[in-house]
Amino acid sequence: MTRDAMKTNADCVIIGGGVVGAAVAYYLAKGGMTNCVLLESEYLSSGATGRCGGGIRQQWSTEPNAQLAMDSVRIFKTLEEELDADIEFLQGGYLVLAYTDEDVEQFHKNFKLQRRLGLDVEILQPAEIATRVVRQLNTDGVRMATYCPSDASANPFLTTKAYAEAASRLGVEIRLFTPVTRILRDGNRIVGVETERGVINTPRVVNAAGSHSVLLAQTVDVQIPITPYRREILVTEPLERFLDPMIISFSFGIYFRQVKHGSVIGGFAYPDEEPGFNEESSVDFLTMMSRKLSFLMPALKHVKVVRQWAGLYDVTPDAQPIIGETDGIDGLFQASGFSGHGFMIAPRVSSLLAQLILGQKPDLDIGRLNVRRFSEGAIDLDHSVV
Amino acid sequence: MKDDVIICRCEDITYGEIVEAIDSGLTTLDELKRVLRTGMGPCQGRTCSRLISRIIVERVGGEVADMKTLLDRPPTMPVEIGILAGEGNEE
Protein backbone atom coordinates (compact mmCIF):
# COMPACT_ATOMS: atom_id res chain seq x y z
CA MET A 1 0.00 0.00 0.00
CA THR A 2 3.03 2.27 0.35
CA ARG A 3 5.45 2.88 -2.48
CA ASP A 4 8.13 4.97 -0.76
CA ALA A 5 11.18 3.54 1.02
CA MET A 6 10.62 0.84 3.61
CA LYS A 7 11.01 1.74 7.27
CA THR A 8 14.34 0.69 8.73
CA ASN A 9 13.27 0.83 12.37
CA ALA A 10 10.06 -0.45 13.89
CA ASP A 11 8.67 -1.37 17.30
CA CYS A 12 7.27 -4.56 15.85
CA VAL A 13 7.43 -6.42 12.54
CA ILE A 14 4.60 -8.80 11.68
CA ILE A 15 5.45 -11.46 9.12
CA GLY A 16 2.44 -12.72 7.18
CA GLY A 17 -0.39 -10.82 5.49
CA GLY A 18 -3.13 -13.31 6.28
CA VAL A 19 -6.02 -12.54 8.57
CA VAL A 20 -3.96 -13.15 11.72
CA GLY A 21 -1.03 -10.94 10.69
CA ALA A 22 -3.35 -8.14 9.58
CA ALA A 23 -5.45 -8.41 12.75
CA VAL A 24 -2.42 -8.45 15.05
CA ALA A 25 -1.11 -5.34 13.25
CA TYR A 26 -4.46 -3.62 13.75
CA TYR A 27 -4.80 -4.50 17.45
CA LEU A 28 -1.21 -3.46 18.14
CA ALA A 29 -1.77 -0.09 16.51
CA LYS A 30 -5.10 0.31 18.25
CA GLY A 31 -3.33 -0.38 21.55
CA GLY A 32 -0.81 2.38 20.84
CA MET A 33 2.05 0.56 19.09
CA THR A 34 1.71 2.19 15.69
CA ASN A 35 5.33 2.04 14.53
CA CYS A 36 4.89 -1.43 13.03
CA VAL A 37 5.52 -3.02 9.65
CA LEU A 38 3.45 -5.86 8.21
CA LEU A 39 5.47 -7.90 5.71
CA GLU A 40 3.79 -10.15 3.15
CA SER A 41 5.70 -12.17 0.55
CA GLU A 42 2.91 -11.81 -2.02
CA TYR A 43 -0.42 -9.99 -1.58
CA LEU A 44 -2.88 -9.88 1.34
CA SER A 45 -4.56 -13.24 2.06
CA SER A 46 -2.53 -14.98 -0.66
CA GLY A 47 -1.82 -17.94 1.66
CA ALA A 48 -4.11 -20.08 3.79
CA THR A 49 -6.56 -17.27 4.65
CA GLY A 50 -7.55 -16.55 1.08
CA ARG A 51 -7.97 -20.24 0.31
CA CYS A 52 -10.26 -21.07 3.24
CA GLY A 53 -14.00 -21.63 3.35
CA GLY A 54 -14.75 -18.55 5.45
CA GLY A 55 -16.74 -20.40 8.10
CA ILE A 56 -16.96 -19.10 11.66
CA ARG A 57 -17.94 -21.98 13.95
CA GLN A 58 -18.39 -21.88 17.70
CA GLN A 59 -19.26 -25.57 18.07
CA TRP A 60 -15.98 -26.98 19.37
CA SER A 61 -15.29 -29.96 21.60
CA THR A 62 -12.86 -28.30 24.01
CA GLU A 63 -13.79 -25.36 26.23
CA PRO A 64 -10.86 -23.11 25.24
CA ASN A 65 -11.57 -23.45 21.51
CA ALA A 66 -15.29 -22.90 21.97
CA GLN A 67 -14.54 -19.87 24.15
CA LEU A 68 -12.15 -18.33 21.61
CA ALA A 69 -14.65 -18.88 18.80
CA MET A 70 -17.55 -17.44 20.79
CA ASP A 71 -15.49 -14.40 21.71
CA SER A 72 -14.51 -14.01 18.05
CA VAL A 73 -18.14 -14.05 16.93
CA ARG A 74 -18.82 -11.25 19.40
CA ILE A 75 -16.00 -9.25 17.76
CA PHE A 76 -17.08 -10.17 14.22
CA LYS A 77 -20.60 -8.90 14.94
CA THR A 78 -19.43 -5.31 15.18
CA LEU A 79 -16.28 -5.61 13.06
CA GLU A 80 -17.74 -4.02 9.92
CA GLU A 81 -18.56 -0.93 11.93
CA GLU A 82 -15.23 -0.95 13.78
CA LEU A 83 -13.14 -1.33 10.60
CA ASP A 84 -15.51 0.66 8.40
CA ALA A 85 -15.71 -2.02 5.70
CA ASP A 86 -18.05 -4.69 4.34
CA ILE A 87 -16.75 -8.18 5.16
CA GLU A 88 -19.93 -10.12 4.22
CA PHE A 89 -20.46 -11.24 7.79
CA LEU A 90 -23.56 -13.43 8.07
CA GLN A 91 -24.88 -15.41 11.03
CA GLY A 92 -26.40 -18.18 8.96
CA GLY A 93 -25.65 -20.93 11.47
CA TYR A 94 -23.79 -24.25 11.27
CA LEU A 95 -25.49 -27.60 10.90
CA VAL A 96 -23.24 -30.45 12.05
CA LEU A 97 -24.29 -33.94 10.94
CA ALA A 98 -23.65 -37.13 12.96
CA TYR A 99 -23.39 -40.47 11.14
CA THR A 100 -21.69 -42.83 13.59
CA ASP A 101 -21.98 -44.02 17.21
CA GLU A 102 -18.80 -42.08 18.00
CA ASP A 103 -20.32 -38.94 16.46
CA VAL A 104 -23.50 -39.29 18.52
CA GLU A 105 -21.60 -39.77 21.76
CA GLN A 106 -19.21 -36.89 21.03
CA PHE A 107 -22.03 -34.56 19.90
CA HIS A 108 -23.90 -35.03 23.18
CA LYS A 109 -20.71 -34.18 25.09
CA ASN A 110 -20.12 -31.16 22.87
CA PHE A 111 -23.72 -30.04 23.30
CA LYS A 112 -23.44 -30.11 27.11
CA LEU A 113 -20.16 -28.21 27.10
CA GLN A 114 -21.34 -25.63 24.59
CA ARG A 115 -24.65 -25.01 26.38
CA ARG A 116 -22.79 -24.56 29.66
CA LEU A 117 -20.76 -21.83 27.93
CA GLY A 118 -23.99 -20.15 26.84
CA LEU A 119 -23.96 -21.11 23.17
CA ASP A 120 -27.36 -21.23 21.41
CA VAL A 121 -26.74 -24.74 20.09
CA GLU A 122 -29.52 -27.33 19.84
CA ILE A 123 -29.89 -31.00 18.99
CA LEU A 124 -32.01 -31.83 15.94
CA GLN A 125 -33.46 -35.17 14.90
CA PRO A 126 -33.02 -35.96 11.19
CA ALA A 127 -36.67 -35.16 10.41
CA GLU A 128 -36.33 -31.71 11.96
CA ILE A 129 -33.51 -30.74 9.61
CA ALA A 130 -35.83 -30.22 6.64
CA THR A 131 -38.41 -28.26 8.57
CA ARG A 132 -36.04 -26.21 10.68
CA VAL A 133 -32.87 -25.64 8.69
CA VAL A 134 -32.52 -26.87 5.12
CA ARG A 135 -35.14 -28.50 2.90
CA GLN A 136 -32.81 -29.80 0.17
CA LEU A 137 -30.57 -32.00 2.34
CA ASN A 138 -30.62 -35.77 1.94
CA THR A 139 -30.59 -37.08 5.52
CA ASP A 140 -30.05 -40.79 4.67
CA GLY A 141 -27.74 -42.18 7.33
CA VAL A 142 -27.88 -39.07 9.50
CA ARG A 143 -28.32 -40.08 13.15
CA MET A 144 -28.74 -36.60 14.58
CA ALA A 145 -27.42 -33.11 14.11
CA THR A 146 -26.45 -30.11 16.14
CA TYR A 147 -27.45 -26.68 14.92
CA CYS A 148 -26.17 -23.35 16.15
CA PRO A 149 -27.93 -20.39 14.51
CA SER A 150 -25.38 -17.84 15.72
CA ASP A 151 -22.48 -19.59 13.95
CA ALA A 152 -21.44 -17.49 11.01
CA SER A 153 -19.34 -16.87 7.94
CA ALA A 154 -17.52 -13.96 6.33
CA ASN A 155 -15.38 -13.18 3.31
CA PRO A 156 -11.73 -13.90 4.20
CA PHE A 157 -10.25 -11.52 1.55
CA LEU A 158 -12.42 -8.62 2.62
CA THR A 159 -11.83 -9.29 6.32
CA THR A 160 -8.04 -9.33 5.90
CA LYS A 161 -8.12 -6.23 3.73
CA ALA A 162 -10.35 -4.46 6.24
CA TYR A 163 -7.96 -5.23 9.11
CA ALA A 164 -4.90 -4.20 7.05
CA GLU A 165 -6.45 -0.95 5.89
CA ALA A 166 -7.57 -0.08 9.40
CA ALA A 167 -4.04 -0.81 10.65
CA SER A 168 -2.63 1.33 7.84
CA ARG A 169 -4.88 4.24 8.81
CA LEU A 170 -3.44 4.02 12.33
CA GLY A 171 0.10 4.24 10.97
CA VAL A 172 1.19 0.64 10.33
CA GLU A 173 3.27 0.21 7.19
CA ILE A 174 1.96 -2.60 4.99
CA ARG A 175 4.65 -4.05 2.69
CA LEU A 176 3.38 -6.46 0.06
CA PHE A 177 5.56 -8.58 -2.27
CA THR A 178 8.35 -8.41 0.30
CA PRO A 179 9.59 -11.90 1.22
CA VAL A 180 11.45 -12.29 4.49
CA THR A 181 14.76 -14.10 4.12
CA ARG A 182 15.48 -14.47 7.84
CA ILE A 183 14.75 -13.21 11.30
CA LEU A 184 17.76 -11.63 13.03
CA ARG A 185 18.72 -12.39 16.62
CA ASP A 186 21.54 -11.29 18.85
CA GLY A 187 21.97 -13.91 21.55
CA ASN A 188 18.65 -14.30 23.32
CA ARG A 189 16.84 -11.36 21.78
CA ILE A 190 15.34 -10.36 18.45
CA VAL A 191 17.06 -7.47 16.67
CA GLY A 192 15.53 -7.36 13.21
CA VAL A 193 14.16 -8.89 10.07
CA GLU A 194 16.02 -9.31 6.79
CA THR A 195 13.90 -9.03 3.65
CA GLU A 196 14.64 -9.11 -0.04
CA ARG A 197 14.29 -5.31 0.09
CA GLY A 198 16.53 -4.59 3.04
CA VAL A 199 16.71 -4.94 6.81
CA ILE A 200 14.26 -3.60 9.39
CA ASN A 201 15.66 -3.21 12.90
CA THR A 202 13.10 -4.24 15.49
CA PRO A 203 13.01 -5.74 18.99
CA ARG A 204 9.79 -7.67 18.27
CA VAL A 205 8.71 -10.07 15.55
CA VAL A 206 5.37 -11.81 15.09
CA ASN A 207 5.71 -15.00 13.07
CA ALA A 208 2.29 -15.32 11.41
CA ALA A 209 3.31 -16.98 8.16
CA GLY A 210 1.15 -20.12 8.33
CA SER A 211 2.99 -23.26 7.28
CA HIS A 212 5.99 -21.14 6.34
CA SER A 213 6.34 -20.11 10.00
CA VAL A 214 8.32 -23.30 10.54
CA LEU A 215 10.99 -22.20 8.06
CA LEU A 216 11.12 -18.67 9.49
CA ALA A 217 11.51 -19.96 13.04
CA GLN A 218 14.38 -22.17 11.87
CA THR A 219 16.31 -19.05 10.82
CA VAL A 220 16.68 -18.30 14.54
CA ASP A 221 17.14 -21.96 15.51
CA VAL A 222 13.64 -22.39 16.86
CA GLN A 223 11.65 -25.54 16.06
CA ILE A 224 7.86 -25.31 15.98
CA PRO A 225 5.85 -28.51 15.40
CA ILE A 226 3.74 -27.53 12.40
CA THR A 227 3.16 -29.81 9.43
CA PRO A 228 1.66 -28.48 6.19
CA TYR A 229 -1.15 -30.49 4.61
CA ARG A 230 -2.85 -29.67 1.33
CA ARG A 231 -6.61 -29.14 1.62
CA GLU A 232 -8.74 -28.74 -1.48
CA ILE A 233 -11.93 -26.81 -2.14
CA LEU A 234 -14.25 -26.01 -5.02
CA VAL A 235 -16.80 -23.37 -5.96
CA THR A 236 -19.90 -23.55 -8.16
CA GLU A 237 -21.66 -21.09 -10.39
CA PRO A 238 -23.83 -18.60 -8.45
CA LEU A 239 -27.34 -19.70 -7.45
CA GLU A 240 -30.30 -17.83 -6.08
CA ARG A 241 -30.08 -17.63 -2.27
CA PHE A 242 -31.30 -20.98 -0.82
CA LEU A 243 -28.85 -21.95 1.93
CA ASP A 244 -27.92 -19.93 5.01
CA PRO A 245 -25.99 -22.38 7.24
CA MET A 246 -22.64 -24.02 6.70
CA ILE A 247 -23.25 -27.78 6.60
CA ILE A 248 -20.46 -29.99 7.93
CA SER A 249 -19.75 -33.54 9.03
CA PHE A 250 -16.52 -34.86 10.55
CA SER A 251 -17.27 -38.53 9.86
CA PHE A 252 -18.77 -38.07 6.38
CA GLY A 253 -15.99 -35.58 5.70
CA ILE A 254 -17.45 -32.42 4.19
CA TYR A 255 -18.15 -28.76 4.70
CA PHE A 256 -20.08 -26.50 2.34
CA ARG A 257 -22.00 -23.24 2.35
CA GLN A 258 -23.47 -20.71 -0.02
CA VAL A 259 -21.49 -17.48 -0.13
CA LYS A 260 -23.07 -14.06 -0.45
CA HIS A 261 -22.33 -13.95 -4.16
CA GLY A 262 -24.47 -17.09 -4.60
CA SER A 263 -21.86 -19.75 -5.26
CA VAL A 264 -21.70 -22.92 -3.21
CA ILE A 265 -18.20 -23.41 -1.83
CA GLY A 266 -16.99 -26.53 -0.05
CA GLY A 267 -14.36 -29.14 0.53
CA PHE A 268 -13.19 -32.04 2.65
CA ALA A 269 -9.92 -33.29 4.07
CA TYR A 270 -8.55 -36.14 1.96
CA PRO A 271 -7.68 -38.74 4.62
CA ASP A 272 -4.50 -40.04 2.96
CA GLU A 273 -3.03 -36.64 2.11
CA GLU A 274 0.76 -36.65 2.38
CA PRO A 275 2.32 -33.79 4.33
CA GLY A 276 4.12 -31.13 2.29
CA PHE A 277 3.83 -27.81 0.53
CA ASN A 278 1.93 -29.17 -2.48
CA GLU A 279 -0.84 -26.72 -3.50
CA GLU A 280 -1.84 -28.37 -6.79
CA SER A 281 -5.48 -29.19 -7.47
CA SER A 282 -6.38 -32.85 -8.01
CA VAL A 283 -8.95 -34.67 -10.13
CA ASP A 284 -9.54 -37.10 -7.24
CA PHE A 285 -10.75 -34.27 -5.05
CA LEU A 286 -13.01 -32.90 -7.78
CA THR A 287 -14.75 -36.24 -8.38
CA MET A 288 -14.94 -37.30 -4.71
CA MET A 289 -16.30 -33.92 -3.62
CA SER A 290 -18.85 -34.01 -6.45
CA ARG A 291 -20.01 -37.45 -5.26
CA LYS A 292 -20.38 -36.19 -1.71
CA LEU A 293 -22.37 -33.14 -2.81
CA SER A 294 -24.56 -35.21 -5.18
CA PHE A 295 -25.40 -37.55 -2.31
CA LEU A 296 -26.06 -34.91 0.32
CA MET A 297 -27.87 -32.47 -1.93
CA PRO A 298 -29.13 -34.12 -5.13
CA ALA A 299 -30.47 -30.78 -6.37
CA LEU A 300 -26.87 -29.69 -6.89
CA LYS A 301 -26.22 -32.36 -9.55
CA HIS A 302 -27.08 -29.96 -12.34
CA VAL A 303 -25.08 -27.10 -10.87
CA LYS A 304 -21.71 -26.44 -12.45
CA VAL A 305 -18.37 -26.36 -10.70
CA VAL A 306 -16.53 -23.25 -11.89
CA ARG A 307 -13.21 -23.60 -10.13
CA GLN A 308 -11.21 -25.65 -7.65
CA TRP A 309 -8.10 -24.73 -5.75
CA ALA A 310 -5.98 -25.84 -2.81
CA GLY A 311 -4.36 -24.34 0.24
CA LEU A 312 -2.33 -25.47 3.22
CA TYR A 313 -3.53 -26.34 6.71
CA ASP A 314 -0.71 -25.63 9.18
CA VAL A 315 -1.35 -28.57 11.46
CA THR A 316 -0.04 -28.97 15.03
CA PRO A 317 -0.03 -32.21 17.05
CA ASP A 318 -3.15 -31.13 18.99
CA ALA A 319 -4.84 -29.21 16.14
CA GLN A 320 -4.66 -26.04 18.23
CA PRO A 321 -2.68 -22.93 17.28
CA ILE A 322 0.70 -21.89 18.59
CA ILE A 323 0.35 -18.43 20.12
CA GLY A 324 2.62 -16.39 22.30
CA GLU A 325 6.20 -15.68 23.28
CA THR A 326 9.12 -18.02 22.54
CA ASP A 327 11.13 -19.22 25.54
CA GLY A 328 14.77 -18.23 25.24
CA ILE A 329 14.30 -15.51 22.61
CA ASP A 330 12.97 -12.18 23.84
CA GLY A 331 10.71 -10.50 21.34
CA LEU A 332 9.80 -13.50 19.17
CA PHE A 333 6.07 -14.17 19.12
CA GLN A 334 4.41 -17.09 17.33
CA ALA A 335 0.96 -16.91 15.71
CA SER A 336 0.49 -19.91 13.48
CA GLY A 337 -0.45 -23.60 13.49
CA PHE A 338 -4.14 -22.83 13.24
CA SER A 339 -4.77 -26.29 11.77
CA GLY A 340 -7.58 -25.18 9.47
CA HIS A 341 -9.54 -22.94 11.82
CA GLY A 342 -7.53 -19.73 11.95
CA PHE A 343 -10.00 -17.45 10.21
CA MET A 344 -12.80 -18.12 12.68
CA ILE A 345 -10.80 -17.41 15.82
CA ALA A 346 -8.52 -14.73 14.36
CA PRO A 347 -10.20 -11.66 15.89
CA ARG A 348 -10.01 -12.89 19.48
CA VAL A 349 -6.64 -14.64 19.26
CA SER A 350 -5.03 -11.67 17.51
CA SER A 351 -6.29 -9.16 20.04
CA LEU A 352 -5.07 -11.35 22.93
CA LEU A 353 -1.65 -11.72 21.34
CA ALA A 354 -1.49 -7.96 20.79
CA GLN A 355 -2.15 -7.45 24.52
CA LEU A 356 0.71 -9.80 25.33
CA ILE A 357 3.07 -7.95 22.95
CA LEU A 358 2.00 -4.60 24.42
CA GLY A 359 3.09 -5.89 27.83
CA GLN A 360 -0.46 -6.10 29.15
CA LYS A 361 -2.08 -9.05 30.85
CA PRO A 362 -4.33 -10.68 28.22
CA ASP A 363 -8.08 -10.63 29.09
CA LEU A 364 -8.07 -14.40 28.67
CA ASP A 365 -5.08 -16.57 29.59
CA ILE A 366 -3.53 -17.92 26.40
CA GLY A 367 -0.58 -19.60 28.09
CA ARG A 368 -2.00 -23.00 27.14
CA LEU A 369 -1.40 -22.11 23.48
CA ASN A 370 2.31 -21.44 23.93
CA VAL A 371 4.64 -23.64 21.91
CA ARG A 372 6.20 -24.90 25.17
CA ARG A 373 3.18 -27.19 25.70
CA PHE A 374 4.67 -29.69 23.26
CA SER A 375 7.78 -30.15 25.38
CA GLU A 376 5.72 -30.42 28.57
CA GLY A 377 3.77 -33.52 27.53
CA ALA A 378 -0.01 -33.84 27.87
CA ILE A 379 -1.92 -32.18 25.04
CA ASP A 380 -5.67 -31.79 24.65
CA LEU A 381 -6.83 -32.80 21.16
CA ASP A 382 -9.97 -31.16 19.81
CA HIS A 383 -12.21 -33.68 17.99
CA SER A 384 -14.10 -31.11 15.98
CA VAL A 385 -11.64 -30.53 13.15
CA VAL A 386 -13.00 -30.86 9.62
CA MET B 1 -12.87 5.10 -21.60
CA LYS B 2 -16.23 5.68 -19.97
CA ASP B 3 -16.50 4.59 -16.33
CA ASP B 4 -19.59 2.47 -16.93
CA VAL B 5 -18.06 0.26 -19.64
CA ILE B 6 -18.16 -3.37 -18.47
CA ILE B 7 -14.70 -4.95 -18.52
CA CYS B 8 -15.38 -8.24 -16.69
CA ARG B 9 -18.48 -9.65 -18.38
CA CYS B 10 -18.86 -12.65 -16.05
CA GLU B 11 -19.14 -10.50 -12.94
CA ASP B 12 -20.32 -7.18 -14.45
CA ILE B 13 -17.34 -5.17 -13.26
CA THR B 14 -16.90 -1.78 -14.88
CA TYR B 15 -13.87 0.22 -15.96
CA GLY B 16 -14.68 2.76 -13.24
CA GLU B 17 -14.69 0.12 -10.49
CA ILE B 18 -11.40 -1.30 -11.71
CA VAL B 19 -9.71 2.10 -11.88
CA GLU B 20 -10.95 2.92 -8.38
CA ALA B 21 -9.56 -0.37 -7.04
CA ILE B 22 -6.20 0.10 -8.76
CA ASP B 23 -5.95 3.64 -7.39
CA SER B 24 -6.66 2.26 -3.89
CA GLY B 25 -3.50 0.14 -4.18
CA LEU B 26 -4.60 -3.15 -5.78
CA THR B 27 -2.12 -3.24 -8.64
CA THR B 28 -2.03 -6.93 -9.66
CA LEU B 29 -4.55 -9.20 -11.39
CA ASP B 30 -4.52 -11.49 -8.33
CA GLU B 31 -5.42 -8.71 -5.90
CA LEU B 32 -8.16 -7.30 -8.12
CA LYS B 33 -9.62 -10.78 -8.56
CA ARG B 34 -9.92 -11.34 -4.82
CA VAL B 35 -11.59 -8.03 -4.12
CA LEU B 36 -13.63 -7.29 -7.28
CA ARG B 37 -14.15 -10.92 -8.45
CA THR B 38 -12.67 -10.14 -11.90
CA GLY B 39 -11.56 -13.58 -13.10
CA MET B 40 -13.71 -15.53 -10.64
CA GLY B 41 -16.51 -16.07 -13.14
CA PRO B 42 -16.96 -18.96 -15.57
CA CYS B 43 -14.34 -17.62 -18.03
CA GLN B 44 -11.71 -17.31 -15.25
CA GLY B 45 -10.46 -14.05 -16.72
CA ARG B 46 -9.84 -15.26 -20.25
CA THR B 47 -11.90 -12.31 -21.54
CA CYS B 48 -10.92 -9.52 -19.17
CA SER B 49 -7.38 -10.23 -17.96
CA ARG B 50 -5.60 -8.54 -20.86
CA LEU B 51 -7.89 -5.54 -20.70
CA ILE B 52 -7.33 -5.23 -16.97
CA SER B 53 -3.56 -5.61 -17.42
CA ARG B 54 -3.66 -2.64 -19.79
CA ILE B 55 -5.68 -0.58 -17.33
CA ILE B 56 -3.14 -1.38 -14.59
CA VAL B 57 -0.29 -0.27 -16.87
CA GLU B 58 -2.24 2.88 -17.75
CA ARG B 59 -2.62 3.76 -14.04
CA VAL B 60 0.66 2.64 -12.47
CA GLY B 61 3.08 1.99 -15.33
CA GLY B 62 5.04 -1.13 -16.19
CA GLU B 63 4.59 -3.52 -19.11
CA VAL B 64 1.64 -5.79 -19.84
CA ALA B 65 4.10 -8.52 -20.83
CA ASP B 66 5.70 -8.46 -17.35
CA MET B 67 2.43 -8.79 -15.49
CA LYS B 68 1.82 -11.98 -13.52
CA THR B 69 -1.19 -13.73 -15.05
CA LEU B 70 -3.96 -15.45 -13.09
CA LEU B 71 -3.54 -19.16 -12.44
CA ASP B 72 -5.78 -21.31 -14.63
CA ARG B 73 -7.74 -23.40 -12.20
CA PRO B 74 -9.42 -26.67 -13.12
CA PRO B 75 -11.93 -27.49 -14.48
CA THR B 76 -11.09 -25.33 -17.47
CA MET B 77 -14.77 -25.07 -18.38
CA PRO B 78 -17.65 -25.24 -15.87
CA VAL B 79 -18.84 -28.84 -15.46
CA GLU B 80 -21.97 -30.18 -13.73
CA ILE B 81 -21.47 -31.80 -10.34
CA GLY B 82 -23.49 -34.87 -11.42
CA ILE B 83 -21.16 -35.45 -14.38
CA LEU B 84 -18.06 -35.04 -12.22
CA ALA B 85 -19.62 -37.51 -9.77
CA GLY B 86 -19.69 -40.04 -12.63
CA GLU B 87 -23.47 -40.23 -12.73
CA GLY B 88 -23.77 -39.38 -16.42
CA ASN B 89 -26.23 -36.87 -17.74
CA GLU B 90 -29.51 -38.74 -17.17
CA GLU B 91 -32.65 -36.67 -16.79
Q: What is the mean pLDDT of residues A43-53?
A: 97
pLDDT of A134: 96
> Under an 8 A CB cutoff, do A237 and B82 touch?
no
Q: What is the mean pLDDT of residues B74-84?
A: 94
Share of chain B above pLDDT 70, in %: 96
| Rounded-to-integer distance, Cα A135 and Cα A152, Å | 19
- Cα A250 to chain centroid, rounded: 17
Q: Where is average pLDDT lowest: A50-59, A166-175, B30-39, B82-91?
A: B82-91
Q: What residues does A153 pair with on adjacent strands?
A: A55, A90
Tell me, yes or no, if A50 comes closer than 8 A to chain B by beta carbon: yes
Confidence of residue A223 (pLDDT cuts 50, 70, 90): very high
Q: What residues does A330 pair with on adjacent strands?
A: A189
Residue B90 has pLDDT above 70, yes or no: no
**Which residue in A161, A287, A306 is closest to B85 by CB distance?**
A287
Which amino acid type is present at position A162? A
Q: What is the mean pLDDT of residues B14-34?
A: 96
Domains, chain A, ordered by start: 12-51+157-226+318-376 (3.50.50.60), 90-150+227-315 (3.30.9.10)
Say whether A230 sits in a helix, a strand or coil: strand
Under 8 Å between Cβ of A199 and A184: yes
> Under an 8 A CB cutoff, do A304 and B42 touch?
yes
Beta-carbon contacts of residue A313 (< 8 Å; ≥ 6 apart): A48, A211, A228, A229, A230, A231, A269, A338, A339, A340
Tell me, yes or no, if A161 comes closer than 8 A to chain B by beta carbon: yes
- Cα A54 to chain centroid, rounded: 8
Confirm whether B66 is domain-assigned.
yes
pLDDT of A380: 75
Tell me, yes or no, if B82 comes closer than 8 A to chain A by beta carbon: yes
Dihedral Cα A203, A40, A315, A53, nearest 10 deg: 140
**Which residue in A43, A161, A294 is closest to B85 by CB distance?**
A294
Q: What is the mean pLDDT of residues A359-366?
A: 95
> Under an 8 A CB cutoff, do A305 and B75 touch?
yes
Query: How would you class A202 by CB atoms within 10 Å of its CB: exposed for 0-12, middle for 13-18, buried for 19 or more?
Result: buried
> Under an 8 A CB cutoff, do A283 and B74 touch?
yes
pLDDT of A386: 75
Confirm whether B89 is domain-assigned.
no
Residues 6-25 of B with CB under 8 A from A: 25
> Under an 8 A CB cutoff, do A45 and B34 touch?
yes
Confirm whether B18 is domain-assigned.
yes
pLDDT of B91: 47
Q: What is the mean pLDDT of residues A155-170?
A: 98
Confidence of residue A93 (pLDDT cuts 50, 70, 90): very high
pLDDT of B89: 52
In A, which residues are within 8 Å of B13 by CB distance? none
pLDDT of A5: 87
Domain holding B56, by residue range, is 6-84
Total number of domains constituting chain B: 1
Confidence of residue A3 (pLDDT cuts 50, 70, 90): low
CATH number at residue B33: 1.10.10
Question: Can you give the pTM of this predicted structure?
Answer: 0.95
**Which residue in A46, A161, A303 is closest to B80 by CB distance?**
A303
> Under an 8 A CB cutoff, do B85 and A293 touch?
yes
Q: What is the mean pLDDT of residues B65-83?
A: 93
Interface size, chain A vs chain B, as Cβ–Cβ contacts under 8 Å: 77
Residue A1 has pLDDT above 70, yes or no: no
Confirm whether B50 is domain-assigned.
yes
In B, which residues are within 8 Å of A309 by CB distance? 71, 73
Strands A173-175, A36-39: pairing is parallel
> Under an 8 A CB cutoff, do A44 and B31 touch?
yes
Residue A120 has pLDDT above 60, yes or no: yes
Confirm whether B1 is domain-assigned.
no
What is this model's ipTM? 0.91
Measure A186 CA to nearest chain B CA, in Å.
36
> Under an 8 A CB cutoff, do A306 and B42 touch?
yes
**Which residue in A44, A50, A305 is closest to B79 by CB distance?**
A305
> Under an 8 A CB cutoff, do B73 and A307 touch?
yes
pLDDT of A379: 73
